[in-house]
Amino acid sequence: MSLDSFALFGLLQHRFSAQGWWPVSDEPLGPASYKKRLELTEAQRLEICVGAMLTQNAAWSNAEKALANLKRRRVLDLDALSAMNSKKLGGLIRSAGFFNQKADRLKRFCGHVKKNHGSVERLLSRPLLIVRKELLSLHGIGPETADSMLLYAGGHSVLVVDAYSRRLVQRVFGKTMDYDACQSFLMKGVPTDSEIFSDFHALIVRHAKEFCRVTPACEPCFLRKKCVFARK
């Protein structure tokens, strides 16, 4: 039987179970943890948005160190981040790489939210396409970052596509796609549900780290029999 995106989701879910993305802190200064949350606080929504910007071109572990620094200094809020000196902010997020550029982007994002919406919740609580268009118009926010904010901080039903997703689609289905095409392909046939999309993205990342690495571990991979790349 051929594989479609919903069947792929089922196989990933069966193998790994729910991942509880996106990791956020339950305490203002606490470490981020992975678990299902019914409701997010404003601080958690901002933590997700800032994390999504910090992890651009950076391993999550390095973005996490930068986030921990911001929490330790008690500056992970719209007022403090938008008002902070760029150089100082860059120093706090150095571990995330491209820190001057990211400091500038963070300041602009927080300033925009503060001035135009007052809170991340108000920014994200409007219709999906309107918020997505606005996010994409902001400096340094591309589709992956915008969709991460929309899905994980805003609870919108949209799938995040990253390099892992595109690599998996290319190998399993033999299709090379850009962001939008890959997103449509993976969302097609999958129930439009933010919890499912959260888990689908998280499961793809988990699979990419354990099996479908740059040099893939096809032999033990449970997708082997359905994968175009492995069958070749």
Assess whether the previous peptide bond of 21 is cis (omega < 30° from 0).
Answer: no
Q: Does 227 bind ligand SF4 (CB under 6 A)?
A: yes
Contact (Cβ atoms closer than 8 angstroms) between residue 16 and residue 211: no
CA dihedral angle for residue 46, residue 122, residue 124, residue 149, rounded to 10 degrees? -10
Please choose, out of 39-47, 63-71, 78-86, 220-228, the segment that lies near ligand SF4 by the rule CB under 6 A.
220-228
Q: Does 229 bind ligand SF4 (CB under 6 A)?
A: yes
Q: Does 218 bind ligand SF4 (CB under 6 A)?
A: yes
Q: Does 65 bind ligand SF4 (CB under 6 A)?
A: no
- Separate counts of helices (H) and strands (E) for the chain: 13, 2
Within positions 7 to 26, which residues make up the interface with ligand SF4, using CB under 6 A? none
- CA distances in angstroms from 96 to 17, 54, 69, listed in the order given: 29, 6, 11
* Distance from C-alpha of 224 to C-alpha of 57, rounded to nearest angstrom: 29
Q: Whole-number minimum distance, CB 15 to ligand SF4, in Å?
A: 11
Q: Does 83 bind ligand SF4 (CB under 6 A)?
A: no
Q: Does 216 bind ligand SF4 (CB under 6 A)?
A: yes
Contact (Cβ atoms closer than 8 angstroms) between residue 176 and residue 165: no
How many residues touch ligand SF4 (CB under 6 A)?
Answer: 13
Q: Does 171 bind ligand SF4 (CB under 6 A)?
A: yes
Which residue in this structure is represented by tokens 């396409």? 129
Q: Does 202 bind ligand SF4 (CB under 6 A)?
A: no
Residues that bind ligand SF4 (CB under 6 A): 171-172, 211-212, 216-218, 221, 223-224, 227, 229-230
